[in-house]
Amino acid sequence: MQLATLAIGLISATALWSGVQALNAQARTSYDRAAAALGGNRTATLVARDGGSYAQQLYVDLRRAGWPVSPAVEGAIRLSGRSLRLLGVEPLSLPVEARTAPALGTGDLQGFILPPGQTLIAPETLREFGLTEGATPELPNGQHLPPLKPQAEIAPGVLVVDIGLAQKLLDMPDRLSRLLLGSKQDGSRPPLRDIVGDRLQLDQPDAATELERLTDSFHLNLTAFGLLSFLVGLFIVNSAIGLAFEQRRPMLRTLRACGASARQLNAVMVIELCLIALLAGLIGLVCGYLIAATLLPDVAATLRGLYGAQIPGELSLRPEWWLAGIAISILGTLAAASAALIKAARLPVLAAAQPYAWQQAQYRWLIVQGAAALAVFAAGFGFLWFGDSLLSGFAVLAAILLGAALGLPAILGLVLALGEKLARGPLTTWFWADSRLQLSGLSLALMALLLALGVNVGVGTMVESFSRTFQRWLDGRLAAEVYLNAATDQQATEIKAWLKDRPEVRSLLPGARAEVKLQGQPVELIGFADDATYRDHWPLLEHTKDVWDRVARGDAALVSEQLWRRLGVKLGDRIVVPSDRGPWPVEVVGIYADYGNPRGQLGVAFGALVTHFPDVAKTRFGLRVDPARVPALIADLRSNFALGERSLADQSTLKAISKQIFSRTFAVTTALNAFTLGIAGVALLTSLLTLGASRLPQVAPLWAIGITRRRLALVELTKTLAMAAITALVALPLGLLVAWCLIAVVNVKAFGWRLPFEVFPFELAKLVGIALLATLLAAALPILKLMRMQPARLVKVFADER
Amino acid sequence: MSVRSRISRRAFAGGLLTVAVAPPVWAQGFAGLGSDAGGFAPVVPGRKLAFPDDHGPHPDFRIEWWYLTANLKDAAGNAYGAQWTLFRQAMTPGPQRDGWANQQIWMAHAAVTSADIHRFAEKFSRGGVGVAGVEASPFKAVIDDWAMQGSSATEPATLSPLEVTARGTNFSYALRLSADRPLVLQGDNGYSRKSERGQASYYYSQPYFTASGTLTLDGRAIAVEGAAWMDREWSSQPLASDQTGWDWFSLHLSTGDKVMLFRLRQRDGSNYFAGNWIGTDGRSAPLSPDQIRLEPLGFTTIGPRRLPTRWRVEVTGHDLAIETTPLNPASWMGTSFPYWEGPIAFKGNRVGVGYLEMTGY
Amino acid sequence: MLIVSNLTKSYSSGQDRVAVLRGVDLAVQPGESVALTGESGSGKSTLLHLIAGLDQPDGGAITFGEETISTMPDAERAAFRRERLGLVFQQFNLIPSLTVADNLVFQARLAGRHDAAWRTELIERLGLGALLKRYPEQLSGGQQQRVAIGRALAIKPLLLLADEPTGNLDEATADDVLALATDLVRRTGCGFLMVTHSERLAGMLDRRVHLHAGLIH
């Protein structure tokens, strides 16, 4: 039984931890590939100040001036109705660090350059689109891609072709998107400004890719959950080893008396533990693989939806992963066993009389743990007060959880003592007193339950808060009934003219988007019309009195919450936007919620945006339409202007897509949550099973005195349920604290936005119910065993010469 | 390793390139080389070279180079060498396409050598977009910020004056070249045979350049002057497939005579010898194979390779019997196609300086 | 009055069934103390457990006044034990989570037969006054057994059953505890059946029966 418990603990600990690690590693590998394949942030690049394309002559000028740059052009293309990135590179000058694919290095270079050329594509993308090697799919503009050639080093969703072919396919003759600058420095070279003026600017490579930075918080989230599950698993391991040690105590004494040294005994036990850990770790890794494989689609969908990061849907595992999994299994086991091993080493050969009654011993233990809990809480408060990073946010979270777990036995002890004091009948007195006695044995399992419940309540509250807030927010942000993005400015004009004859269109709201960099980070500029639609619905968190009039005047802007936090601006502050027409100072007059956008955003008047960025596409607009007539209008628009799915969408579709993205974001969290709760249930079950055997001598006298087995079983069940219920009740405030921490600390640091904090009593009641149900399930087996126990076995307790 | 090492400038003319499989990037250009001209223009005897046109590129031919070596001295009498080379390689024959579709690939090597320092650099570029290329008149050969170019004053017949610049890690140079004598046609009026079976190239030289300018080595600027030698060669046909490498000499004799000679080593141990003796009067006379004797005297080990860096050179009929010593025995060009190339000095019945190139070791 | 007639009981041991009791007849009168002796494995404890209703016999009957214990359903037997029987075991079998005071009155309160005066008297007679607040694990064996006897007698049982009650005690303590028990039994007028293998202790009781080969001699 101990072995099974130990194995279950180790397997679940290793499984969840490795599962999460596998997911993270998979994502990181993909980012690396993306970064390498795009020549993105891994190498320094020269980009246009406005982020747009520029003339190829700048490349020639720079090369001729001694700058070792390599040209690249990129753009989106549509294939089978889906969007892919087409990247054109020049393999001869490509910096070594970007030359990852064999076709770009020593492979078939001539095949890549010479007509018909090649389209390098990730094997999974090839499969995803149902294409075959050598195929030449047709693009919407009638051109054909060069023959496809799968290459594992290419990032999913990216097509790599020779620069010349890419310019043709993207219809960008003699235009470049950026220049890659290798890390190899060849001699001195003249300053950039002397060659290209201020048309290009240098983007230094980041240690981490942009994707990595954006998705960091998400991965930290996963890691935190993995760690939590790992710790809960170790709780199980710890209790199993502790009990095993207690049972072996007489045998150890005998062996010691026979002359075996404590060191020898410990060595044998450590070897035994390591072997078990090895085996359980292997099984755990297999389970971890299964977990990761199960969760991967959701994780991939989340990362794609939130950050546009492409993660292949298949898990690839490296040897390091296996080794790390085994190592953590063994190390975890040894850590969990250290207390028992130290005890064994110090075990006196002769049993001494108990110096303290169990109650006193427990009292001391509770005092120590309670003090530790307070210390941890204090540390958590310190993190909250002084910390300013996502990591410190998680530290606060960890401190709250750990402190609560450590404090739980003390709280339970207090409640049980109080119950005992208030008890009248002999059986109730025994009920409370015996619960207290059992507390020491069950506390680890209950702590695991508390942690799992607390996190469940916390995450549940956060997710629920989010979905409500998000609903309201979406209603505000997507106020127009139809959203339209014309292919060209000319088509936009045509559509506008056509819409004039449609009486159901109540108003037409032009919009535009530009991109600038503020403090080195990309920021979106969105322009919107001065319309009641926005005045009534826009999700402003804070604003000045005349906010909309000020925005309409063109010298003021609304700032998204993320950007507001990042820039640290207040209402009334000025932000200088580097526009195409030079610096454009705008005053901050409002702050609005922009959930789920990893980038900062500035909202300005449409007219002002177009003035300062004359080149932006004026192709976007929203339409206010009588809702009943939306489908007909959309159908007419589609048939008249050949607008695709992405170019024309109605409000309900957009909302559905947005909600889907966000429900997926938390799907992983919820799944891990459920796993954690499951493990806590297992911990409780194993604790009860191990306790069950050792409790027989304590229960048998009561039966002998005249309490039926059925009644005894009922009392035992009630006891377990009572303790679980108290734990669940403690978990509620803990969970709310966790939720607050997630919402007010972790989310703000991770995503840049803060949700309104709401409490959902029904959800909480449901969770308590689930916890009790889990306890009932965990307790059922030992209780049934007791109820069905043969009198002969109970009698044996009295007959045994012990 | 041995495969890589068989390639160098003369490999273009040779076809040793047929066995060159996969040095990164550049070898790709040669993957299409067959044993015949493969749609490219053939090298035939009797073609009359015309200038300035033949200073420019010949895209109908598969391979071509502009090759300059200079033996220099500073004010204190210390010797230096400088090398500047631009190679052209056509991936496919046919009319030249514009922009990125252009089928030319350019490669360049530059080096500076002193008695104890040897620095080199390498460049690659696609043709068609204006980063690398050659124009005949006024003469201009460029790749990135390296250039060998003339001006309106440059005479087509002497290809003088020229400015040469190159720059690499911890070295650079800028040299001014001038010559008062016309170009010299190598081989038989510019038709240079490379094997018994008729493989050949068009080949002319300007061996009479005087050079002056500045070398920069590790940040130290050094004023230098001396003699320089320019080779121009283009071809479509590879060398015979059994030729494994060569040893090539260009010699400036103190008498004013210039000598070019080489041996192509063949797999069976025999050699194919060829060369020209260019007299002080500027007349170039081909040397017959049996007039040339080359004998290694001393070896230098560089990495896994053992290179004959000291030679006895004899040309009968011109009374030349000399022993050559390298300025820097470690003049190793560790480029995509590694080879040995560096300045030499010689003594014997004549004295002087020159350049030695050895490939296929 | 306890009457055991023609009681049989066998256990399965591997594939064989071993007959432990082969027709035991025994009667214990109120106020009478009887020692049940026999070799190890003779079935003394089995007989005691059957009389206590902890287990059911294969054949024969155990009656107590009007009631036949051997045919009672589980719940009734439990109630009978709770209200009528006092049980004392060799390992004392006190409830570890309860104090001496709570252990002492546990069964009496459970049975609804708590008598404060009787409790006070028991505490005094058993000399437990100073130990009431302690927990069983803090007591010596003799002290624990005195609490166990107190617990059993607190309900003023009709019959006190003891299984080697002094087996874990030294001789002097054993004599002391047994003297106390027999004295209290006499005071309450209940029957007392004690399993022991000690001739000396057996001699201290009113009567002694010997169990051999599954039969009373």
Q: Is residue B149 part of a domain?
A: yes
Size (chain A), residues = 802
Tokens for A523? 């920021």
- From CA A510, how far away is CA B27, in angstroms rounded? 55
Q: Is residue B4 part of a domain?
A: no
pLDDT at A336: 77
Residue ranges of domains in chain C: 31-54+77-216
Q: How many domains does chain B have?
A: 1
Tell me the whole-structure pTM to 2 decimals: 0.60
Task: Note whether A211 and A312 are within 8 A (CB).
Answer: no
User: How far is the CA of B146 from the CAs of A267, A708, B149, in angstroms?
Assistant: 71, 101, 10
Searching chain C, which residue's CA lies closest to the CA of residue A362?
Answer: C97
| Phi–psi pair at A703, nearest 5 degrees | -65, -40
On the question of pLDDT at B265 being above 60, the answer is yes
- From CA B344, how far away is CA B322, in angstroms rounded? 12
Task: Note whether C28 and C193 are within 8 A (CB).
Answer: yes
pLDDT at B114: 96
CB contact under 8 A, B167 and A188: yes
- From CA B136, how far away is CA A367, in angstroms rounded? 95
Q: What pLDDT band is residue B9 in, cutting at 50, 70 and 90?
A: very low
* Domain C31-54+77-216 class in CATH: alpha beta
What is the 8-class DSSP label of residue B36?
S
- From CA C161, how far away is CA C166, in angstroms rounded? 13
Tokens for A96? 């070594």
Which residue would you say has higher pLDDT here, B17 or A574? A574
Helix (H) or strand (E) holding A500: none
Interface chains of chain A (3 or more CB pairs under 8 Å):
B, C
What's the N-to-C CA distance of chain B in angstroms?
Answer: 9
Whether the CB of C87 is below 8 Å from some CB of chain A: the reply is yes
The closest alpha carbon to C177, from C151, C141, C202, C212, belongs to C141
pLDDT at B33: 33
The closest alpha carbon to B338, from B122, B169, B171, B124, belongs to B122
- From CA A679, how far away is CA A17, in angstroms rounded? 13
pLDDT at B11: 36
pLDDT at A305: 61
Q: What is the pLDDT of residues B294-307, one digit of tens each?
A: 999 999 999 899 99
CB contact under 8 A, B169 and A187: yes
| Mean pLDDT value across chain C | 86
Instruction: Give percent of chain B with pLDDT exceeding 90.
Output: 68
User: How far is the CA of A255 from the CAs of A248, A340, A385, C17, in angstroms?
Assistant: 10, 17, 53, 37
- From CA C54, how far away is CA A703, in angstroms rounded? 9
Chain A 531-560, CB below 8 Å of chain B: which residues?
A: none
CATH number, domain containing residue B17: 2.40.370.10
What is the 8-class DSSP label of residue B170?
T
Interface test with B, best of A60, A92, A114, A169 (most B CBs within 10 A): A92
Nearest-Å Rg of the Cα atoms of chain A is: 33
Counts for chain C of helices (H) and strands (E), in that order: 7, 10
Domain interval for residue B228: 9-358
- Give residue for tokens 């030349």: B320
CB contact under 8 A, A185 and B103: no
Task: Find the CB nearest B131 among A64, A110, A114.
Answer: A64
pLDDT averaged over 10-residue windows placed end to end, chain A, 802 residues: 73 80 74 55 72 88 91 83 81 74 61 88 84 90 91 78 93 89 69 85 58 60 71 72 72 78 82 87 86 77 63 68 82 80 70 58 82 88 79 81 87 88 85 84 80 81 77 77 79 86 86 79 83 83 88 90 86 87 89 78 89 81 86 83 70 71 66 74 73 73 85 87 88 88 79 79 85 84 82 72 39
Residues 6+ positions from A570 with CB-CB distance below 8 Å: A588
CB contact under 8 A, A802 and C91: yes
Interface test with A, best of B98, B100, B335, B336 (most A CBs within 10 A): B100
CB contact under 8 A, A704 and C93: yes
Touch test C–A: 3 Cβ pairs or more under 8 Å = yes
Alpha helices, H only, chain C:
44-51, 74-84, 100-111, 116-126, 141-154, 171-188, 199-202
CB contact under 8 A, A358 and C110: no
The closest alpha carbon to A758, from A736, A732, A734, belongs to A736
Residue ranges of domains in chain A: 1-36+215-351, 42-205, 487-642
Task: Find the CB nearest C97 among A433, A700, A795.
Answer: A433
Task: Note whether A707 and A698 are within 8 A (CB).
Answer: no
pLDDT at B330: 94
CA distance A190 to chain B (A): 11
CA distance A132 to chain B (A): 26
Whether the CB of A64 is below 8 Å from some CB of chain B: the reply is yes
Question: Which of the residues in chain C have pLDDT under 50?
Answer: none
ipTM of this predicted complex? 0.89
pLDDT at C189: 85
pLDDT at A347: 66
Whether the CB of A102 is below 8 Å from some CB of chain B: the reply is no
pLDDT at A103: 55
Q: What pLDDT band is residue B206 in, cutting at 50, 70 and 90?
A: very high
pLDDT at B348: 95
pLDDT at A328: 80
Q: What is the pLDDT of residues B30-70, one digit of tens each?
A: 323 333 457 888 898 999 999 999 999 999 998 999 999 99
Angle (CA) C13 C15 C19, round 5°: 50
Helix (H) or strand (E) holding A435: helix A426-477
Q: Is residue B217 part of a domain?
A: yes
CA distance A202 to chain B (A): 20
pLDDT at A99: 64
Q: Is residue B258 part of a domain?
A: yes
CB contact under 8 A, C95 and A703: no
Task: Note whether A532 and A526 are within 8 A (CB).
Answer: no
Residues in A closer than 8 angstroms to C143, CB to CB, are none
